[in-house]
Amino acid sequence: MAEKKSGLYELTKGIIKENPTLVTLLGMCPTLAVTTMASNGIGMGLATTFVLVCSNAAISLLKNVIPKAVRLPCFIVVIASFVTLIEFILKGYVPALYDSLGLFLSLITVNCIILGRAEAFASKNGVFRSILDGLGMGLGFTLSLFTMGSIREIIGTGQWMGFDLHLPVTMTMFIMPAGGFFTLGMVIAMVNKITKKKPPQEIGCANCPNAASCPTFNKGNSDKKEAAAQ
Amino acid sequence: MKSLLVILLSAIFVDNFVLSKFMGICPFLGVSKKLDSAAGMGAAVTFVMVCATLCTYPIYMLILVPMGLEYLKTIAFILIIALFVQLVEMILKKKVPSLYSALGVFLPLITTNCAVLGVTILNIDNSYNLVQSVVNSLGAGLGFTLALLIFSGVRSRVNAADVPETFKGVPATLIAASIVSVSFMGFSGMFG
Cβ of A184 within 8 Å of Cβ of B31? The answer is no
Nearest-angstrom CA–CA distance, B160 and B5: 39
Q: Mention every residue, 6+ apart, whose C-beta is less than 8 A from residue A184.
A: A28, A31, A32, A148, B174
Q: How far is A208 from A150, CA to CA, in rounded Å? A: 27
A–B interface: beta-carbon pairs under 8 A: 175
CB atoms inside a 10 Å sphere around CB B64: 18
Neighbour-count burial of A160, counting CB atoms closer than 10 A to its CB (0-12 exposed, 13-18 middle, 19+ buried): middle
| Candidates B29, B170, B185; nearest CB to A178 | B185
A-chain residues within 8 Å CB-CB of B144?
A: none
Residue-wise pLDDT tens digits, A44-80: 899 999 999 999 999 888 888 888 777 777 888 888 8
Q: Note the residue count of chain A.
A: 230
Give one word for B189, left, alpha or beta, with left for phi > 0 and alpha for psi -120 to 50. Answer: left
CB atoms within 10 A of CB A206: 17
pTM value?
0.80
Closest C-alpha among A127, A126, A111, A130 to residue A210: A111
Gap from B22 CA to chain A (nearest CA, Å): 5
Q: Do B178 and A199 touch (CB under 8 A)?
A: no
Q: Where are the beta strands (DSSP E) in A61-204?
A: 159-160, 163-164
Integer-rounded Cα radius of gyration of chain B: 18
B82 to chain A, any CB pair closer than 8 A? The answer is yes
Q: Where are the domains of chain B?
A: 2-187
Measure the CA–CA gap between A121 and A182, rounded to whole angstroms.
32
A24: which DSSP letter? Answer: S
A227 to chain B, closest Cα gap in Å: 8
- Average pLDDT by stretches of 10, chain B with 192 residues: 77 80 77 77 84 87 82 84 81 79 69 81 84 89 89 84 79 86 77 54
B177, B151 in Cβ contact below 8 A?
A: yes
ipTM: 0.79
